[in-house]
Chains A and B, each alone.
Chain A
């Protein structure tokens, strides 16, 4: 499945995926690079996108990677992840970087070391 595939899809399908909800809960802010980890296995009868996320996130997987792999817009994926978080099926490792100031000096140093070791 490619990102291009769902662009041609009916929006009705996206609407159905989220059970008609249009926004994710504001208290569950999934960043693009929040790492999602499955806390349970996919179960029979589960919505197929939920099951796919649980299989994908056996190891930490960024929100943006989940979106790319499911070929769904970020906003839709945030809603699906909120469902799974609310029911305890996933945990979320949010980025430590602060949103409104320069990043932590220790983090920058770690980034620099990591890049130099590439």
Chain B
């Protein structure tokens, strides 16, 4: 991984609110590519260590034992305005990663499940886990030039609920990746409006 030491772009001194969006997907699906296409810094890599029991520990003594494992993830950054800074995390969808979800990604606005239509089954586990965590998400199909599928075919293959947005994208393209993020935030606004009207109905 490249060192960013020599080219760190500092945030504005007024920045005071960090926000998170997580891009989840299998190996090689284009998570880092998507992060890179919209990030103002070159994507950086970091990691967390956890025990097999699933508890992420700061217990460095555990690193001695074979019960610990390491999950690495990439991230990029978008300065939204004088106060808000959005961090985009590209995270692997495999099983061991989800033990860390609550510790690392609580408070995340929402998630994008990035899928390769040639390997849709790779996304089942991530979608299941997001639903389990109650994390709002959308699905974005990264275009690898495979055979075209109709939206209905993809929805059925993913067993995706009708209300979950499904979009196509080219993760290499900045405006396409930007559209994916805007779709997620618009979805979050819609969920929020629904929750609000539900509360008002009950009141």
Contact = CB atoms under 8 A, between A and B. Distances in A.
A24 B60 CA distance: 12
B16 A118 contact: no
Interface string B1-23: 11111001011110111111000
B178 A60 contact: no
A103 interface: yes
Report which residue of B77, B105, B189, B195 has the largest number of chain A beta carbons within 10 angstroms of its beta carbon.
B189
B85 A33 contact: yes
B44 A93 contact: no
Interface of B: 1-5, 8, 10-13, 15-20, 38, 44-49, 56-61, 63-64, 70, 72, 75, 77-81, 83-87, 89, 104-107, 109, 136, 174, 178, 181-182, 185-186, 188-189, 191-192, 195
A42 interface: no
Contacts of A59: 10-13
Interface in A66-87: 67-69, 73-76, 78-79
Contacts, number: 179
22 contacts: A3-B72, A7-B47, A11-B61, A11-B64, A14-B63, A18-B60, A32-B87, A35-B18, A60-B16, A61-B10, A62-B18, A64-B44, A65-B44, A73-B48, A75-B58, A75-B59, A76-B60, A93-B15, A98-B107, A105-B192, A112-B186, A115-B86
Contact of B189 (A14, A33, A65, A112): A112
